[in-house]
Amino acid sequence: MTPVEAAVLIGLASWRLWRLVARDDITEPFHSRLQGWPHRLVDCPWCLGTWIAAAVTFSVDQVHPLPVPWLIAGTAAGIVGFTEMVTQRLTEP
């Protein structure tokens, strides 16, 4: 797998995990426990998405060594934010 393919796959997987944590109804009990936290931290794909992309990248790197994990993590984080931005634009009424 090339670094570009890895970044895209990790970015899309990280975006889905971010959506699960931040937006999906199934995690509503989790959202209610975060009332005291700065909501922007969890709700922002650029903020939490970066941490999720880094965690996914370095988890993958432990199983399947990646050639440039820091670069892949940064690119994957950008994919999380960009994908959510496009999703919001496409779903606006």
Q: How far apart are CA 88 and CA 58, in angstroms?
A: 28
pLDDT, tens digit (0-9, with 9 covering 90-100), for 2-33: 999 999 999 999 999 999 988 888 988 877 77
Domain count, the chain: 1
Average pLDDT over residues 51-77: 96
pLDDT tens-digit readout, 74-93: 999 999 999 999 999 999 88
Structural domain range at position 80? 3-91
Q: Specify the pTM.
A: 0.87
For the chain, the DSSP string reads --HHHHHHHHHHHHHHHHHHHHT-GGGHHHHHHTTTS-HHHHH-TTTHHHHHHHHHHHHHHHHS--S-HHHHHHHHHHHHHHHHHHHHHHH--
- Per-residue confidence (pLDDT) for residue 53, from 0 to 100: 98
